[in-house]
């Protein structure tokens, strides 16, 4: 807790200085990532995430694997921008203030498997960049036709003034873990290649005019039920809070490599402003001191079925099963989603996302400054 407070205090001091000098204004957000920031991409491509997703805020499913808003939604609210439409969603989308290329299950590095085989999305970060590049060019061609296109597509200068947000990497780590690779193998062989591909994507976006980069590190994957439940772990492998120590250490090693990559990108891309955002600390704080922050459930899912964590990979949130010829709704949400940290064994609740956003929000006031 001390480290979070001290880092945030330093951030707030810098922020108070820059606000008086130049308040950041971003006309658009272009987001790249996985389910932590997917506002409808996977739902558009492979079928909608059904109820009770969206029940706490939108009133119905809204393409998010959550009961409500994600951190990216709170970022958009803070910047007084509309919620981001998913690039893959052709129904009712408005891209005048940016686009979201994230899809649930996306890794940085492409995986040689289908969504049905592994649960991981085919829209890896390199694919998301291709989608962005196409959008960058085609949006201006279509916008020049006039009419409604001028209201639903971004202005040309939005691309150089926009905030480019990233929340991706978790699936690369869990994919390796599910493939039974050791933490040492992942750290030695996989992480360097994953980080290299991340740097390539950012460099390519810079070449297309992107200048302001907001980069989330990855969270404590060892505290998520779907990861813990995948393989039975020995009691000695858990810390005092019930999280898998080795997996959290892997996440931290990945984050160290990501932070170093951001330093290198900052040095090589001289016109860009980079903000490395420590969401790991905010999420870990929430798991470790959930009750102190008003939460009743930390590791136990709000929406799910069975087991120690109210999670079953075969019977997920919102699912129904047939028992003696009768369909029974088993993936029910808990009575107080706003008191739970984990929504469905994989993703955070809206309340947890708000907590995380509040811990990092101060940095948005400096995200346009090269420092």
Do the bridges between strand 29-33 and strand 273-277 make them parallel or antiparallel, or are there none, so unpaired?
Answer: unpaired
CA 281 to chain centre: 15
CA 69 to chain centre: 12
Write phi, then psi, for 33 (nearest 5 degrees): 170, -160
* Six token digits for residue 208: 């297309």
Active site residue 347: yes
* Six token digits for residue 224: 């998520």
Measured CA to CA, the distance from residue 58 to residue 156 in angstroms comes to: 31
C-alpha separations of 197 from 95, 163, 210 in Å:
27, 20, 17
With 0-12 / 13-18 / 19 or more C-beta atoms within 10 angstroms meaning exposed / middle / buried, residue 101 is: buried
C-alpha separations of 219 from 76, 287, 332, 346, 364 in Å:
21, 11, 26, 12, 19
Rg of the chain, C-alpha, whole Å: 20
* Six token digits for residue 227: 């990861």
Measured CA to CA, the distance from residue 105 to residue 119 in angstroms comes to: 7
Q: Could you say which of 43, 55, 344, 365 is catalytic?
A: 344
Q: Could you say which of 139, 167, 347, 365 is catalytic?
A: 347
Cα dihedral value 164, 28, 369, 267, nearest 10: 30
Q: Which residue is associated with the tokens 């971003």?
A: 26
Three-class SS of 146-213? CCCHHHHCCCCCHHHHCEEEEECCHHHHHHHHHCCCCHHHHHHHHHHHHHHHHHHHHHHHHHCCCCEE
Q: Is 102 helix (H, G, I), strand (E, B) or coil?
A: coil
Q: Could you say which of 34, 35, 53, 298 is catalytic?
A: 35
Measured CA to CA, the distance from residue 173 to residue 24 in angstroms comes to: 34
Q: Which helix or strand (DSSP H or E) is residue 264 part of? A: helix 245-268
* Residues assigned a catalytic role: 35, 344, 347
């Amino acid at each position: 807790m001390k480290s979070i407070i001290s880092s945030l205090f330093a951030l707030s001091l810098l922020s108070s200085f820059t606000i008086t000098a130049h308040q950041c204004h971003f006309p658009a957000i272009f987001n790249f990532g996985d389910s932590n920031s997917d506002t409808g991409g996977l739902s558009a491509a492979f079928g909608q995430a059904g109820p009770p997703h969206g029940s706490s805020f939108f009133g119905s499913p809204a393409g998010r694997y959550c009961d409500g808003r994600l951190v990216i939604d709170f970022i958009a609210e803070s910047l007084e921008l509309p919620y981001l439409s998913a690039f893959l969603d052709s129904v009712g989308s408005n891209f005048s203030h940016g686009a979201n290329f994230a899809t649930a299950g996306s890794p940085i590095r492409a995986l040689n498997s289908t969504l049905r085989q592994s649960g991981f999305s085919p829209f890896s970060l390199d694919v998301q960049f291709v989608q962005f590049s196409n959008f960058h060019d085609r949006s201006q061609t279509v916008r020049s036709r006039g009419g409604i296109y001028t209201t639903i597509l971004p202005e040309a200068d939005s691309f150089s003034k926009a905030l480019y947000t990233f929340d991706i990497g978790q699936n690369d780590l869990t994919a390796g873990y599910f493939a039974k690779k050791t933490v040492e193998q992942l750290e030695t062989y996989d992480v360097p290649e994953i980080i290299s591909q991340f740097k390539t994507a950012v460099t390519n976006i810079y070449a297309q005019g992107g200048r302001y980069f907001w980069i989330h590190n990855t969270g404590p994957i060892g505290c998520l039920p779907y990861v813990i439940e995948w393989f039975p772990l020995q009691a000695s492998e858990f810390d005092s809070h019930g999280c898998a120590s080795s997996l959290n250490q892997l996440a931290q090693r990945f984050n160290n490599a990501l932070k170093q990559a951001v330093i290198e990108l900052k040095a090589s891309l001289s016109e860009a402003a980079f903000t490395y955002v420590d969401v790991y600390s905010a999420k870990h704080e929430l798991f470790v001191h959930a009750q102190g922050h008003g939460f009743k459930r930390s590791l136990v899912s709000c929406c799910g079925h069975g087991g120690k964590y109210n999670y079953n990979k075969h019977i997920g949130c919102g699912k129904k099963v047939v028992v003696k010829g009768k369909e029974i709704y088993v993936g029910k949400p808990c009575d107080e989603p706003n008191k739970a940290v984990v929504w469905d064994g994989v993703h955070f609740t809206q309340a947890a996302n708000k907590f995380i956003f509040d811990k990092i929000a101060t940095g948005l006031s400096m995200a346009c400054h090269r420092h």
